[in-house]
Chain A
Amino acid sequence: MGADKFEISVNLIKMAVIFLMMIQIVPILVWVERRGSAFIQNRFGPNRVGPLGLMQLLADAVKFLFKEEFLPKKGVALLYYAAPVMALVPGALALASLPLSPTIHIEPFHLFGQLWAGVDGKGYDFAFQGFSINVGIVYVLGISSLGAYSLLMAGWGSSNKYSLMGALRASAQMISYELALGLSLVGILMIYGTLSFGDMMKMQEAALTYGFFGQKFTIPFLPDWGIFHNPIGMLLFASASFAECNRLPFDLPEAEGELVAGFHTEYGGFKMLLFYIGEYGHMLVASALLAIFYFGGYNIPQWLMTLLPVNHIPGNLGAILFALLAHVVLLTKIIFFLWVFIWVRWTLPRFRYDQLMDLGWKTMLPWALVNVILTALWIFCAQG
């Protein structure tokens, strides 16, 4: 966590800020979803509460806080109350391990009449990241696979057979698509040869370079992003992320016509909102992973660097501005992918459950294997 008070306090503040980021993105995303869906469906969304309807979710949150708290009579109290709290945990823990800005080096400085110089007197290294686990992606996959527990606890704790059916179907869907997710990442791991996110983003900085039996072709105006090296993998990863977050077109567990409301039928008030925070947290992690693996992450494009030459500002302020600019670049990409999540939701119809499972096992898994084989052959040919 850090050796001296400055580092520990900065780390704690960073963790709290990242967790609050996950929570605060929910009002914004729900507003975008409601207005965006209204725009797609050619109607008005919420536009009365506050300017452009921005205060709508604040009003909703206040309303939820004042709702009656009930437990179904035959429900299991511990599981029923633990499930929404457990729904927050995977998204938050996964988001905190993603590097949201490059590591910057802070030189020793004076504050409150004391020299803060870090452990070995050479200053600090910070990144906008809650904590850094050096096996990055394996940790994120492991934590995401714990998300199935909150579904199962909610379904069982409600003691409602429709909730239980919904929870079992939701968790079966989630584990089926975890296979496609894990396998589509093997392609990107082969190309980058490392598990940590920071190294992967560092390798996407240069201009696009293809190798062919030892010769190298460089396309100067395109960056060396993952999508140009592994497009099938990107499509598979994006589709599997949709299924992992229980978003349309894979949201049968939450479908209204099918199982009332699936595993969160018996939840009302703020408990329901905690499930939504968990779902949007998963979406945020999935968008961030998509940006990090396939779209360059926080690398600042060259034209932006010449426009805002922050690397010419010396000292600590320059380092902080550089990290901030990189973070804004990553955030823009994440917001774009979140919009794609919302856009797809209101465009495509929902899959039937057997179509969904067939897609996961019989289509995506074989295609992911094909992706691995093709990438292996491609790398083999590229090296010669």
Chain B
Amino acid sequence: MLALSDYIFYFLAFTAFFSACSVILVQNPIYSALFLASTMVAVAAIFVSLDAGFVAGVQLIVYAGAVMVLFVMVLMLFDLKHDLDAFSPGILSGAFKLASVGVILGLIMGSIYMSADMVFNSQVTPIPATLDPVRGLATTLFGNYLFAFEVIGALLLVIAIGAVTLSRVRGGTHAND
């Protein structure tokens, strides 16, 4: 029989799956963005149920609270009728689109197949109950991955400068709106 925790997982997984499918199946782009935000929230809830509270909070703060707000704001700012007309119809471009999607799908399925063995047969070491997840994260981050941490800081700096510079470019896609 299914335990209560299984029901919760199936409910959250169904919500995430349904929201993710709705992102691509809904006509209105703002609804797409809002469904993507609800996918992020469902994934954060799954993280909480896996006792990864900090990652869930970070997912909510950064993904659902920052990145998706950016998406929704930008979608509301720009008039998308120009972009919808820019999709080129035709057989050759249609075939090209199908072929590229097929290649990406093949790559994903191949990598899942090749790593399934590693996932199912690896030994899972249980976390000792006395380990606080956030402290463990901090110890690992500032211990083994210190250089990666500093590089992330530099990367964020580059992103900031790049974003500001890109928005200065004259012309752009919707200069006449």
Taking a contact as CB atoms under 8 Å apart, the answer to whether B134 and A164 are in contact is no
Q: Are A138 and B37 in contact (CB under 8 A)?
A: no
Scan B13-57; emit 1 where CB is below 8 A from any A CB, else 0. Answer: 000000000000000001100100100010010001000011011
Q: Please indicate the chain B residues that have their CB under 8 angstroms from the CB of A135 in the complex.
A: 53-54, 56-57, 134
- Contact B64–A152 (Cβ < 8 Å): no
Question: Which residues of the partner chain B approach A149 to less than 8 Å between Cβ atoms?
Answer: 34, 37, 69, 72
Q: A149-B34, A156-B30 are in contact. Are A139 and B65 (CB under 8 A)?
A: no
Docked complex Cα distance between A195 and B54 (Å): 10
Cα distance A156–B60 when bound, in Å? 23
A-B Cβ contacts below 8 A, count: 70
- The reply on B73 being an interface residue by CB < 8 A is yes
B91 to chain A, nearest CB (A): 35
Cα distance A195–B57 in the bound complex, in angstroms: 12
Q: A187: CB under 8 A from chain B?
A: no
Tell me whether A239 is interfacial, beta carbon within 8 Å: no
- Check if A235 is an interface residue, CB within 8 A of chain B: no
> Smallest Cβ distance from B176 to chain A, in angstroms?
18
B156 contacts partner chain A, Cβ-Cβ < 8 Å? no
Who on chain A is nearest to B61 by CB? A142
The listed residue (A145, A156, A178, A195) touching B134 by CB distance below 8 A is A195
Q: Is the CB of B61 within 8 A of A141?
A: yes
Contacting B at CB under 8 A, from A136-158, are: 138-139, 141-143, 145-146, 148-149, 152-153, 155-156
Closest Cβ of chain B to A173, distance in Å, is: 12
**Contacts A139-B53, A142-B65, A149-B37; is A133 near B44 (CB within 8 Å)?**
no
- For residue A234, CB closer than 8 A to chain B, the reply is no
With a cutoff of 8 Å between Cβ atoms, the chain B residues found around residue A145 in the complex are 60-61, 64-66, 69
B77 at the interface (CB under 8 A from A): yes
Instruction: Mark A residues whose CB is within 8 Å of B.
Output: 78-79, 133-135, 138-139, 141-143, 145-146, 148-149, 152-153, 155-156, 164, 167-168, 171-172, 175, 178, 182, 195
